[in-house]
Structure 1
Amino acid sequence: MNYKFEIMTQEQAEEIAHNWHYDGEYSFYDMEADEEDLAEFLDCKARGNSMFAVMIEGELIGFFSVSQAADNIYDIGLGMRPDLTGNGRGTEFLYAGMEFVQSRFTVDKITLSVATFNQRAIKVYRKVGFKDMDTFVQDTNGSTYEFLRMVYECV
């Protein structure tokens, strides 16, 4: 697939925030599930140049955030359109995002955090070479959840 990464527009942010709804336990990832996260996602100044819309042939299929955590260490966040999840496309999507980060920045490590219940995503991350670092708990979506922090060592 030919993925294109572009700075997210307000229209794209609103589409994701208000129309992307995930099934079952994955509804945790609905932008509307947490008021603070929603407000930040919809604020173009807060998004700045760190949130990217992921397109294929002009169609919005996901998003990818990139922020510098330390020298040559970048933290990523990502999401695929709900109808595209669970169909074996995650590995290719993740690789495309990692290639994008490495082509844009000088990167030694890429980190990410994922809710520990999301074994489907954790399996993808481990498959591409992310290693477990540690776990932490965070208040979000009206409760407290455990997250796994993972790291990918770039060669």
Structure 2
Amino acid sequence: MDFLPNAFDSPIWYIGMQINGASELLTQKRNREILAKRLNRDQRNALIKVEEYTILPDAIHLIVREVALSLEMWWPVFRDTTAGELEDSDVAEGVNCTWTNLSQELIIDAVAFERCAYDLLYQPVLKGYATDPGFYEFNSINNVAGIDL
């Protein structure tokens, strides 16, 4: 299977991270807006490009393409800033938000991209939140969070 020529010239990463603090925190509207605002701002500034995403109640899974910043430079800032903003939100008052179970995988070809996209989109099914990824609101299929794709 051939993707577009040069499709993997800039690194593409599959990232997963779980929020430690509140089990339904990330699917609440205010907190989804915090994630979307940060990701959209980073995309407008051409730091990264979000290819796919899934937001679970306590975790976020992203496929991002490096643009101006490497993952090593972008991810720690995104991780720490969003944790601070989530902790400061009215919904999470009194909750100590920290990211746990951080994972990252470099996607090197079309086969790896399809596997990671499948894994990302089927996370809600595997976790029991939906029977089909098309019926789960908080992913790049339905884009209820409003993340620029």
The structure that is strand-richer by fraction is 1
State TM-score, norm by structure 1. Answer: 0.31
- Tell which has more relative contact order, 1 or 2 (C-alpha 8 A, sep 6+): 2
State TM-score, norm by structure 2. Answer: 0.32
